[in-house]
Structure 1
Amino acid sequence: MRKRPGRRLPAICLFSAVLLLAAVCFSVWRSYHSLTVTTYRFPTDKAEGPVRLAVMSDLHEHVFGQDNAPLVEAVAEQRPDLILLCGDMLNAYSASSQNSTELVGALSKIAPVYYAWGNHELDYLAAGTSPLEEELVSAGATVLDRAWSDLDIHGTPLRLGGLY
């Protein structure tokens, strides 16, 4: 009995599609569960010395390990002068701000923390779930909502603003 060559092609295509889908799913899972530190350097004549910023956004309540310890350790290793949280640290439908406020509390022991709203914070505030700004300030953050702070980092003046 002779095999028909036309039957192998659909099976190969199906196997390839399943393999591709598995690779995409693994990549998404890995990006959601792995912690990555990326360093950027911006040389300028306007700074008296280096200004080190740790910038995070879009955690959407994701917790890395027990109490975010791996995340907090990774930030501490960078020895930042300021920690900037640029929104979407929680979800619009979050039951509370506990994950975000606990993270702010841990990070504020490393360096001053500045927090700006993302669309999820605005939706969370609109839902009236909790007094988010008060909770973040109590945890140690300066919330910049259509506001700015003038700072001096190692002799370098810096104006830091927050605007959704």
Structure 2
Amino acid sequence: MGADRRRLYEKSRCRVWRGVAGDYDRRAGDRHGRALIDHLTFGVSNIARSCDFYDATFEPLGIRRLMRFREAAEVAGYGDDRPWFWIAEQDATRGKLHIAIRADSRAQVDAFHTAALATGGRDHGAPGLRPDYHPDYYGAFVLDPDGHNIEAVCHRPE
């Protein structure tokens, strides 16, 4: 990280980005260590293809498909103990969409990337450190079947 950016970074009053993984983990989430967003939903063009992709890609992160049903559209919900990541085969989302999922280890980030590529995802940034974000930011980026940028990130030092 450049000196000017580090100074801004260190002076920041932002509660999340302090550059210390422990601070990030402790303050950014709820009692489960997850972000405070309850859930999100976005549209996909082919629910079966997307379910195949997310089933395999999320498995290394401990996330699984918990629901799949049809109401106004076919939807699938993913999560750990409850669904918080939803996809719907209706009005496929267009334009920039970037979703980062927190991993517990760098090995999980690597496994996420491998699984994504094996199920039709496209590489959008190989696993590795991203020191411009903070010294321990270890992430991998893939494009899902609809071209959405999905990331796995670990904030812990190894």
Structure showing the higher strand proportion among its residues: 2
TM-score (norm. length: structure 2): 0.27
Q: Greater relative contact order (Cα 8 A, min sep 6): structure 1 or 2?
A: 2
Query: Which of these two proteins has the greater Rg computed from alpha carbons?
Result: 1
